[in-house]
Amino acid sequence: MLIDTMKVLFISGSPRKRSNTDYLLEITRSVTGGDLIKLSDYEINPCNSCRSCLKLKNVSLRMAWN
């Protein structure tokens, strides 16, 4: 019998380091497993309406996702 496993992704939107949100997510993650992403660790820029995505069929902004 094949059983699919589900992975959990926790996303923290708090701008503060070691916030209460992070604390609660870490407790929950220790019980359920999964990955935690803090959005404040990434440089996320808004769209600047350059419309190059229409030509390139891709987002032209360089984001620090790696």
Domain count, the chain: 1
In this structure, is residue 40 part of a structural domain? yes
In this structure, is residue 65 part of a structural domain? no
**pLDDT at residue 45, as a whole number:** 78
Contact (Cβ atoms closer than 8 angstroms) between residue 23 and residue 33: no
In this structure, is residue 2 part of a structural domain? no
Q: Which amino acid is at 3?
A: I
Residues 6+ apart with CB under 8 A from 8: 29, 32, 33, 34, 35
Report residues of the chain scoring pLDDT below 70: 1-3, 59-66
Domain range for 35 is 10-56
**pLDDT at residue 60, as a whole number:** 63
**pLDDT at residue 21, as a whole number:** 95
Residues counted in the chain = 66
In this structure, is residue 66 part of a structural domain? no
In this structure, is residue 46 part of a structural domain? yes
In this structure, is residue 33 part of a structural domain? yes
